[in-house]
Amino acid sequence: MPRALVTGGAGFLGSHLCEKLLENGWEVVAMDNLITGDLRNIAHLMERPDFEFRRHDVSQYIHLSGPLDGVFHFASPASPVDYIQVPIQTMKVGAQGTHNCLGLALARNARFLLASTSEVYGDPLEHPQKETYNGNVSTLTTRGVYDEAKRYAEALTMAYHRHHGVETRIVRIFNTYGPRMRLDDGRVLPDFARRALSGQPLRVHGDGSQTRSFCYVDDLIEGIWRLFQSDEVLPVNIGNPHEITILEFAEHVQRAVGSELPIEFGELPEGDPKKRQPDITKARTLLGWEPKVGLEEGLKRAIESFRERLSETVS
Ligand code: NAD
Ligand code: UDP
């Protein structure tokens, strides 16, 4: 039975990835310091003999005995609201955390996969974004800590591949949504949904003309799984190319919740990218992958799960 380490395994994406690995016959160690994660995301896995949870900050040396075939490095605060609150931990987990995970993969001859991000493209001047675009990132905005940490992580991953021959993969993840997002993590869907479900107006930053392209979590995880098994060392975008404005997205959420509440407009945060859309030609050609779940269906599933979480919190 192959064995994997998933850092950030108690987070939104990490917990879905743990399930995918278990379904495919892997043994899984989820490692997380719970800085933005939630043990409820993996509570249903805890009793399984092929699953183990370890509480640890991966910016510190990682001790893990036994065989190891894959290291999936997903640990990092991922919402702008989160990483603005813990900017130094964000830089550390992107830098030292990635270094520790790569060191572990090298020592144990395991394949390594880095969860990178569309934020490496910054506020993009090329649209849609192809993997060959080098980005337009500011080191100085509050987003800089996250963007630059991930850029460093990509460079370090390539160095371990070239210098040490570690088998590495890099996925550039575009905005992904679904069950288990933390309702107060500040990202746009949980924020809109939490407000709509509790009878408050939605709050759009700026005039809502900025765009994003939202991918349902199951589609993303399938893409990552295929990338891990492929031979591609250079980064691959995984995301849904269906691009909409944030104002249109707010209207979709209102419809999905059945809310008639008004939309309020606030200030656009510093460094907020104006456009974002993945070019997924590479994933299509190389992995035979493309997203399958449309926004209406995905929102239905996500909002259903948010309703359940909210009722748990209330009761
Ligand atoms: P999340 O906050 O739900 O999960 C991140 C997990 O990492 C949390 O459980 C957190 O406690 C853990 N963590 C953070 N620092 C740690 C540390 N030093 N040691 C151990 N654990 C630590 O966020 P997510 O959306 O699941 O994001 C997971 C990964 O995917 C991140 O690396 C993020 O950058 C990347 N990503 C996500 C998206 C998205 O749309 N969800 C987009 C681009 C990239
Ligand atoms: N946003 C918003 N209202 C909110 C939360 C976010 O209008 O309550 C906007 C945010 O400014 C950005 C977009 O929605 O333009 C997506 O934000 P998110 O934090 O989800 O991700 P990112 O900006 O990293 O793509």
Q: Is the CB of 204 under 6 A from ligand 2?
A: yes
Please state the atom number of ligand 1 nearest to the C-alpha of residue 35: 11
Token representation of residue 116: 């990178």
CATH architecture for residues 177-212+242-276+293-314: Alpha-Beta Complex (3.90)
Mean pLDDT of the 125-136 span: 97
Residue 314 exposure: Cα atoms within 13 Å on the Cβ side? 9
Q: Which residue minimizes the CA distance to atom 13 of ligand 2?
A: 188
Reported as a pLDDT band with limits 50, 70 and 90, residue 225 is: very high
Q: What is the pLDDT of residue 88?
A: 98
Q: Over 70: is that where the pLDDT of 126 sits?
A: yes
Q: Is the CB of 78 under 6 A from ligand 2?
A: no
Q: Over 70: is that where the pLDDT of 314 sits?
A: no
Q: Kindly identify the ligand whose nearest atom is closest to the C-alpha of 39.
A: 1
Domain with CATH 3.40.50.720 in the chain: 3-176+215-238
Q: What is the pLDDT of residue 80?
A: 92
Q: What is the pLDDT of residue 135?
A: 97
The β-bridge partners of 204 are: 265
Mean pLDDT of the 276-296 span: 98
3-class state of residue 245 by DSSP? strand
Domain with CATH 3.90.25.10 in the chain: 177-212+242-276+293-314
Q: For residues 227 and 239, what is the distance between their CA atoms, to the nearest angstrom?
A: 13
Q: What is the pLDDT of residue 281?
A: 98
Q: Is the CB of 45 under 6 A from ligand 1?
A: no
Q: Which residue minimizes the CA distance to atom 13 of ligand 1?
A: 75
Token representation of residue 214: 């939202």
Q: For residues 299 and 296, what is the distance between their CA atoms, to the nearest angstrom?
A: 5
Q: Is the CB of 117 under 6 A from ligand 1?
A: yes
Token representation of residue 162: 């070239």
Mean pLDDT of the 133-160 span: 97
Q: What is the pTM of this model?
A: 0.98
Q: Residue 230 in contact with residue 169, Cβ under 8 Å?
A: yes
Q: Residue 92 in contact with residue 250, Cβ under 8 Å?
A: no
Q: For residues 80 and 82, what is the distance between their CA atoms, to the nearest angstrom?
A: 5
Q: What is the pLDDT of residue 167?
A: 98
Please state the atom number of ligand 1 nearest to the C-alpha of residue 14: 26
Q: What is the pLDDT of residue 261?
A: 85
Q: What is the pLDDT of residue 260?
A: 82
Distance 118 CA to ligand 2 centre (A): 14
Known catalytic residue at 146: yes
Q: Is the CB of 210 under 6 A from ligand 2?
A: yes
Mean pLDDT of the 161-185 span: 97
Q: Is the CB of 79 under 6 A from ligand 2?
A: yes
Q: Residue 169 in contact with residue 235, Cβ under 8 Å?
A: no
Kindly report the average pLDDT of the chain as a whole number. 97
Catalytic site residue from 83, 121, 146, 177: 146
Tell me the per-residue pLDDT of 67-116, one tens digit each, with 9 for 90 and over.
Answer: 999 999 999 999 999 999 999 999 999 999 999 999 999 999 999 999 99
Distance 254 CA to ligand 1 centre (A): 27
Q: What is the dihedral of CA 140, 145, 147, 153, to 10 degrees?
A: 130
Q: Is the CB of 15 under 6 A from ligand 2?
A: no
Q: Is the CB of 277 under 6 A from ligand 1?
A: no
Q: Tell me which of 76, 100, 276 to substitute to probe ligand 1's pocket, judged by most ligand atoms within 8 Å of the beta carbon.
A: 76
Q: Over 80: is that where the pLDDT of 313 sits?
A: no
Give the per-residue SS3 of 269-303. Answer: CCCCCCCCCECCHHHHHHHCCCCCCCHHHHHHHHH
Q: What is the pLDDT of residue 46?
A: 98
Q: Tell me which of 117, 121, 187, 192 to substitute to probe ligand 2's pocket, judged by most ligand atoms within 8 Å of the beta carbon.
A: 187
Tell me the per-residue pLDDT of 3-35, one tens digit each, with 9 for 90 and over.
Answer: 999 999 999 999 999 999 999 999 999 999 999
Tell me the per-residue pLDDT of 257-271, one tens digit each, with 9 for 90 and over.
Answer: 998 888 999 999 989
Helix 98-108 / helix 144-164 crossing angle, nearest 10 deg: 20
Q: Over 90: is that where the pLDDT of 188 sits?
A: yes
Tell me the per-residue pLDDT of 189-216, one tens digit each, with 9 for 90 and over.
Answer: 999 999 999 999 999 999 999 999 999 9
Q: Kindly identify the ligand whose nearest atom is closest to the C-alpha of 78.
A: 1
Token representation of residue 45: 């896995």
Q: Is the CB of 118 under 6 A from ligand 2?
A: no
Percent of the chain past pLDDT 70, that is, above it, reads 99
Q: What is the pLDDT of residue 315?
A: 61
Q: Over 90: is that where the pLDDT of 123 sits?
A: yes
Instruction: Please report, as a single letter, which amino acid is at residue 253.
Output: V
Distance 76 CA to ligand 1 centre (A): 4
Helix 188-197 / helix 295-314 crossing angle, nearest 10 deg: 60
Owner of token pair 């719970």:
34
Q: Over 90: is that where the pLDDT of 233 sits?
A: yes
CATH architecture for residues 3-176+215-238: 3-Layer(aba) Sandwich (3.40)
Percent of the chain past pLDDT 90, that is, above it, reads 96
Q: For residues 196 and 9, what is the distance between their CA atoms, to the nearest angstrom?
A: 29
3-class state of residue 53 by DSSP? strand
Distance 123 CA to ligand 2 centre (A): 13
Q: What is the dihedral of CA 122, 124, 129, 132, to 10 degrees?
A: -70
